[in-house]
């Protein structure tokens, strides 16, 4: 799943493009840039694709909102070359991209809202550390209190604690 959010710095706003694995909730690609140009989501996608074995990936589906970046010829062609299925929200509704929105929300509410990096360079460094912590240190209820990196190495159904706890509370 892909999405874009913003990060405020002393220099101004930068845009953080994320590619998040739906199965494990691991952030597998990211990029920061000063504009909403396609180049930054494309960098995040290429980072994610670099983690996959070479060749076609017809078993994968790439999901995003209907942002112009994800509809661009370059972005779509990059997915088609690897034979990755393309999925987009019907109306741009954030609820149809919930895992990506949740990852954005965690990064912002737990870290980025409490920081004000002075520059783009510092912002990239801070985000790199945050994503490393998010993927490798922070347990996620949605994958059975594992880290996304632990869940990413598995197969089969994930034990989703959130569904269980919500069912018990109802």
Cα distance between residue 124 and residue 67, in whole Å = 23
Instruction: Please provide the size of the chain in residues.
Output: 170
- Where do the DSSP E strands lie in the chain? 2-9, 12-20, 27-33, 61-64, 85-88
Residue 82: domain span: 2-169
Q: Report the share of the chain in percent with pLDDT over 70.
A: 89
In total, how many domains does the chain have? 1
Q: Report the share of the chain in percent with pLDDT over 90.
A: 58
Cα distance between residue 148 and residue 23, in whole Å = 9
pTM: 0.85
Per residue in 27-67, pLDDT (tens digit) is 999 999 999 999 999 999 999 999 998 887 888 999 998 89
**Which segment, 7-21, 81-95, 153-167, is predicted with the most confidence on average?**
7-21
- Residue 85 scores a pLDDT above 60: yes
Q: Are the beta carbons of 141 and 162 closer than 8 angstroms?
A: yes
Q: Are the beta carbons of 31 and 49 closer than 8 angstroms?
A: no
Question: Residue 33: which CATH number?
Answer: 3.30.420.10
Q: Token pair of 136, please? A: 């490798």
Q: Are the beta carbons of 63 and 22 closer than 8 angstroms?
A: yes
């Amino acid at each position: 799943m892909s999405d874009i959010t913003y990060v405020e710095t002393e220099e101004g706003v930068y845009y953080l493009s994320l590619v998040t694995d739906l199965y494990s909730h691991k952030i597998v690609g990211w990029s920061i840039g000063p504009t909403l140009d396609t180049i930054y989501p494309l960098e995040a996608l290429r980072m994610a694709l670099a983690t996959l074995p070479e060749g076609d990936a017809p078993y994968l589906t790439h999901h995003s909102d209907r942002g112009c970046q994800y509809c661009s010829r370059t972005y779509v062609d990059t997915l088609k070359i690897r034979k990755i299925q393309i999925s987009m929200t019907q109306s741009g509704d954030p609820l149809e991209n919930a895992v990506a929105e949740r990852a954005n929300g965690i990064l912002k509410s737990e870290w980025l809202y409490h920081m004000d990096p002075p520059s783009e360079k510092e912002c990239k460094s801070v985000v790199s550390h945050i994503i490393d912590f998010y993927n490798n240190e922070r347990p996620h209820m949605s994958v059975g209190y594992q880290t996304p990196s632990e869940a990413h190495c598995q197969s089969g159904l994930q034990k989703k604690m959130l569904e269980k706890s919500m069912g018990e509370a109802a």
